[in-house]
Amino acid sequence: MARLPEGTLMDRAAAGLATACARELERAAGGVYGSRVVVLAGSGDNGGDALFAGARLAGRGARVTAVPAGTRVHEGGLAALRAAGGRVAGGPVAGAVSGPVVGAVVGAVAGPWGGEVAALIAGADLVLDGLVGIGGSGALREPYAGLAAVVNEADGLVVAVDVPSGVDAGTGEVAGAAVRAGLTVTFGARKTGVLVDPGAEYAGRVELVDIGLGPYLDDPDVAMLTGWDVAAMLPRPSRESDKYRRGVVGVAAGSHQYTGAAVLAVGGALRAGAGLVRYVGFAEPLAQVRTHWPEAVTGELREHGLGVAEVGRVQSWVVGPGVGTGTESLTVVRDVLASDVPVLVDADALTLVAREPSLLRRTAPTLLTPHAGELSRLLGVPRERIEAARLEHVRLAAERLGVTVLLKGSTTVVAEEGRPVRVNPTGTPWLAAGGTGDVLSGIGGALLAGGLSCYDAAACAAYIHGVAGRVAAEGAPLVAGDLLTVLPETLSGILGGRGRAGHRR
């Protein structure tokens, strides 16, 4: 900013924002010319970005009306809008805008011009949300909260400037009313708030505009892997590889009640590239694994003298999917966590660990893969608080438990103490189906056995799992077994440089 003329970055942001809006208007309204655009302008630079973008759209023939919602308005942006033929709610922009005009919607949307403002928003083809930018925190105050409610009832497209108003840009938390956007145009770098739920849900599709900030030299506190990042990390066999060098995964999963969990976890590990899977389980799931995966080496757990130690040498363990929470299951989990290799702990094993946290006091690396309910039991924190502040609680869990934590859900996040939280950009709501987490565990176990750290294995597994969900679903329901079918295709696409196709936003 010190090297560039004043206003350069705002001009670049406005140009990118206007271009994105023009594309949306071409799609939704048949073009920019004659379209109805409402600009909600707050007091800060965010409002300035919106006003300058509105001026560019007005210059292309859009009917642009600005609603100054703050105690002041960006003078340069307002002047540009005036010069392009725009107007302000309450009358044409013919002179200085001050006093009652700037305060037209201050206090309540139902104020002096509230009816006009609501009617403008309701009739707009596109609404630009420039109320609050990245500096905002906490719940929206009036008139912003009332405007957000009106915007969310409108039929036109809503485009948020940098971050939807009401969404905390640094955490994704939503403390009260917030604008729900169909598109968020963010500048310079993706903000955490548009990547992590609940904020990501309000952001809709996210488009990044490069305004020339350049690469960042310091590690951010939150990072997002791309398909190329994942491809660079994934283990690949060499000419000298054999099944042992490619990684041997031990899987302790399934019970007489949940036989499918064992099948899915073993399948996930095999399809994700493990050289060998050694499965150990009780009779019923063992029979299912032998039927579905003859490639796996299997061993039966017995009621007396459980045989985890007899399964053979492995490079990683997956324990917990469908294993149950009884006394025998606890013995299995204890035996696995007593090993000296990385362990991925999932599902029922998380419940047992929550009862007996001392099991996590081990020297080998440990990866936990809870959903919000399981993390609630581990931390003693209500599930609703975890879902409302995912970053805060995944960091807390990693620090308090001394492990790597992959928190599953609408936004999957991976935390390890002293490292940036990794936010997974892939996935689909169709992955909210029974058994998909078991497949994720198998994928993670294979990557651990292949030599990846818990931090890298968790982030890569989440990415692969999300892309596979997109491939398997194609906009329709899926079952967990579908992920196993498409995993080879998914990995081929990522390793071939096509990983971006799975990005959710």
CB atoms within 10 A of CB 360: 16
443 a known binding residue? Answer: no
Task: Let me know: does 75 contact 52? Beta carbons within 8 Å.
Answer: no
Task: Let me know: does 346 contact 439? Beta carbons within 8 Å.
Answer: no
409 a known binding residue? Answer: yes
Q: How far is it, in rounded angstroms, from Cα 184 to Cα 201?
A: 11
Residue 342, judged by CB atoms within 10 A of its CB (0-12, 13-18, 19+), counts as buried
168 a known binding residue? Answer: no
192 a known binding residue? Answer: no
135 a known binding residue? Answer: yes
Task: Let me know: does 424 contact 223? Beta carbons within 8 Å.
Answer: no
260 a known binding residue? Answer: no
48 a known binding residue? Answer: yes
Residue 165: DSSP 8-state: T
CB atoms within 10 A of CB 503: 18
482 a known binding residue? Answer: no
Strand runs (DSSP E) across 11-97, as ranges?
36-41, 63-68, 87-88, 91-92
Phi, psi angle pair for 210, to nearest 5°: -80, 115
Handedness of CA 435, 441, 447, 453 (dihedral sign): positive
Residue 476, judged by CB atoms within 10 A of its CB (0-12, 13-18, 19+), counts as exposed
Task: Let me know: does 25 contact 35? Beta carbons within 8 Å.
Answer: yes
Beta bridge partners of 130: 41
191 a known binding residue? Answer: no
172 a known binding residue? Answer: no
412 a known binding residue? Answer: yes
Helix (H, G, I), strand (E, B) or coil at 331: helix
Task: Let me know: does 250 contact 275? Beta carbons within 8 Å.
Answer: no
Q: Which two tokens stand for residue 47?
A: 């409002």
292 a known binding residue? Answer: no
129 a known binding residue? Answer: yes
Strand runs (DSSP E) across 194-247, as ranges?
205-209, 222-223
144 a known binding residue? Answer: yes
Q: How far is it, in rounded angstroms, from Cα 380 to Cα 378?
A: 6
Residues near 79 by Cβ (< 8 Å), separated by ≥ 6?
none
437 a known binding residue? Answer: yes
Residue 357: DSSP 8-state: G
Which of 364, 308, 318, 323 is CA-nearest to residue 458?
318
Distances (CA, A) of 384 to 103, 122, 198, 397, 410: 37, 33, 11, 16, 14
Q: Are strands 87-88 and 63-68 parallel, antiparallel or unpaired?
A: parallel
134 a known binding residue? Answer: yes
133 a known binding residue? Answer: yes
438 a known binding residue? Answer: yes
Which of 203, 178, 318, 185 is CA-nearest to residue 251?
318
502 a known binding residue? Answer: no
Specify the residue for token string 């037209």.
104
Q: For residue 179, which amino acid is it?
A: V
243 a known binding residue? Answer: no
Handedness of CA 400, 404, 409, 410 (dihedral sign): positive
494 a known binding residue? Answer: no
49 a known binding residue? Answer: yes
Indicate the annotated binding residues for (6S)-NADPHX.
Answer: 45-49, 133-139, 144, 162, 261, 322, 371, 438
Indicate the annotated binding residues for K(+).
Answer: 46, 129, 165
Indicate the annotated binding residues for AMP.
Answer: 408-412, 437
Indicate the annotated binding residues.
Answer: 45-49, 129, 133-139, 144, 162, 165, 261, 322, 371, 408-412, 437-438
